[in-house]
Chain A
């Protein structure tokens, strides 16, 4: 069965600094990977997805993620964070076998310092 690990429960970054959120997955075949963002009390918004092809994918709000098969990782990055980026971030992998749901990591809570 597939699994997703987000090693960092909380990360604190200064406004304007760069950001990298880690995600490791476990899946036997080619994974379909996603990053979502959740603001407090709201649903999840899709930031970006990786299906195949170019291993560096661009998303909304200035985010990007790089798929590294050798490291089983799909880390999310942003060159310069804004206070509005403070939120919970979830990495997810699709099962690949059907229409059943995504497998999510437990999330990383991003705190932005002024």
Chain B
């Protein structure tokens, strides 16, 4: 069966520090991969998605970036964190194709001090 792993589960970082969140999927090949941010009371906001290695689509302009160095690995990064980057970050995957249900990891709680 397929599983998705995100780490770390929680992270506290100072303003201006770099960020790297990692997500990996097991048990499937060539998945679509997604990064969402969830802020309190605001639902989920799609940040990035990827349909293949090295292919990244950005939905919201910001100081975050994403990379997909391997088929089942998706990384969310920042060179300099802002206070507004605080939130709950969720990685998700779906099978290749359109309109497929997405399956989520357990998330990373990011607090910026």
Q: A44-B104, A99-B96 are in contact. List 4 more A-B contacts (CB 8 A).
A: A36-B104, A46-B101, A90-B43, A104-B43
Q: Which residue of B lies closest to A93 (CB)?
A: B99
Query: How many Å lie between the Cα of A106 and that of B107 in the bound state?
Result: 17
Number of B residues contacting the other chain (C-beta, 8 Å)? 29
Interface size class of A (residues with CB under 8 A): 20 to 34
Q: Which of B51, B90, B103 contacts A99 (CB 8 A)?
A: B51
The answer on a CB contact under 8 Å between A43 and B106 is yes
Distance in angstroms between the alpha carbons of A102 and B100 in the assembled complex = 9
Of the candidate stretches B12-20, B34-42, B68-76, B79-87, the one touching chain A is B34-42
Contacts from B to A (Cβ < 8 Å): 6, 32, 34, 36, 41-44, 46, 49, 51, 57, 59, 90, 92, 94, 96-107, 109
Known: A94-B98, A99-B98. A105 touches B43 (CB 8 A): yes
